[in-house]
Amino acid sequence: MDQARWTEVDRYFDDLLVPADPVLDAALADSAAAGLPTIQISPSQGKFLHVLAVLVGARHILEIGTLGGYSTIWLARGLSAGGRLVTLEAQERHARVAKANIARAGLSDMVEVRLGPALETLPILAGEKRPPFDLIFIDADKPATADYFNWAVSLARPGGLIVVDNVVRKGGVADAASQEPEIIGMRRFAATMAADKRVTAAALQTVGSKGYDGFAVAVVKKQ
């Protein structure tokens, strides 16, 4: 079992489940042309997030880590009528490319891209009068993931869903001796999530066109 097989299987499912989509293709092409790193979620992962947004009947979605807006478009297309998505991005260039991609997708009225380091924009967001979020997708700088998770729990509604990308890092997350800041960050996040009595949570390993990684999901308890 290797990368070629994982990519082949993603292609098989994408052919069945992810219709050809000029808007998403253009978002990827323009992101690459602008020199953004190609670290966005895969098409099947995008469809998966879209299904989750539909499942929770999301009217309010928060994303931490926009890049070129690829995952943003998948999530925003899963909003229910009148829904809104806020996405947080630290890099001005990434935010600019994302805004253009979101506009081409016809989603500018539903999506707000907020520029700034998320640990600065999250407290501002929390101070605003706005409904709690139904779905929060965390996919920014990995060392701060535990901090984003704590913000997410306080910003989500009871029953709200928190999804975290890149929690496995090619299996590195199981290495307690790792010196990589990303692995150390994901281990701190996993311990934080596990200890948080306000959520019930799971983590799942994935393989596919983007390699070997995984998602964590946590639902905020209702009582």
Q: Give strand pairing partners of 112.
A: 86
Q: Tokens 């060392």 correspond to what residue?
A: 143
Distance CA 39, CA 94 (A): 12
Q: How many residues bind ligand DHB (CB under 6 A)?
A: 4
- Residue facing Mg ion at closest CB distance: 165
Binding residues for Mg ion, rule: CB under 5 A, are 139, 165-166
How near is the Cβ of 108 to ligand SAH at its closest, in Å?
A: 17
Q: Please answer whether residues 64 and 139 qualify as being in contact, where contact means their C-beta atoms are separated by less than 8 angstroms.
A: yes
Among 139, 163, 183, 216, binds ligand DHB (CB under 6 A): 139
Q: Does 105 bind ligand SAH (CB under 6 A)?
A: no
* Contact in structure between 137 and 176 (CB atoms under 8 Å): no
Site string for ligand SAH, 109-148 (x = CB under 6 A): --------xx--------------------xxx-------
Rounded to the nearest whole angstrom, what is the least distance from the CB of residue 54 to ligand SAH in the complex? Answer: 18
Out of ligand DHB, Mg ion, ligand SAH, none, which partner does residue 147 contact, by CB within 5 to 8 A per kind?
A: none
Which residues are at the interface with ligand SAH (CB under 6 A)? Answer: 39-41, 65-67, 70-71, 88-91, 94, 117-118, 139-141
